[in-house]
Amino acid sequence: MKGPRPPKPVAVRLELEDHGQDFTTWDLDEDGVVIDSQPFQASVWRGVRVRNHRLLRAGAQLQLTLEDGRELTLNYPVAMVMRMPRPMQRRAG
């Protein structure tokens, strides 16, 4: 019997400009999908895809695709982008 899939590693951490919203940090996987939102609203944003995740820099607007397929632009600009090192792959043998 298979257990639950392990969570995907964080590939990018985004700090958003703080305009009083309930979230200022998003963690994305390598496909640009939100896997965590801090300090709040993880259940709201988890699973949303950031279409322009490979092009992000400070001041950029996030282009999102919601899980139902709708597209939108987030009103809070990016303050900082932190790209995480890829985990080392173990070689068999």
Percent of the chain with pLDDT over 70: 89
Give every CB contact of residue 13 below 8 A, 6+ residues apart in sequence. 25, 26, 27, 28, 81, 82, 84
pLDDT at position 87 over 90: no
Q: What is the mean pLDDT of residues 37-56?
A: 97
Average pLDDT over residues 1-5: 68
pLDDT band at residue 47 under the 50/70/90 scheme: very high
CB atoms within 10 A of CB 66: 12
What span, in angstroms and rounded, lies between the C-alpha atoms of 7 and 69? 23
In the structure, what pLDDT confidence band is assigned to residue 88 with cuts at 50, 70 and 90? low
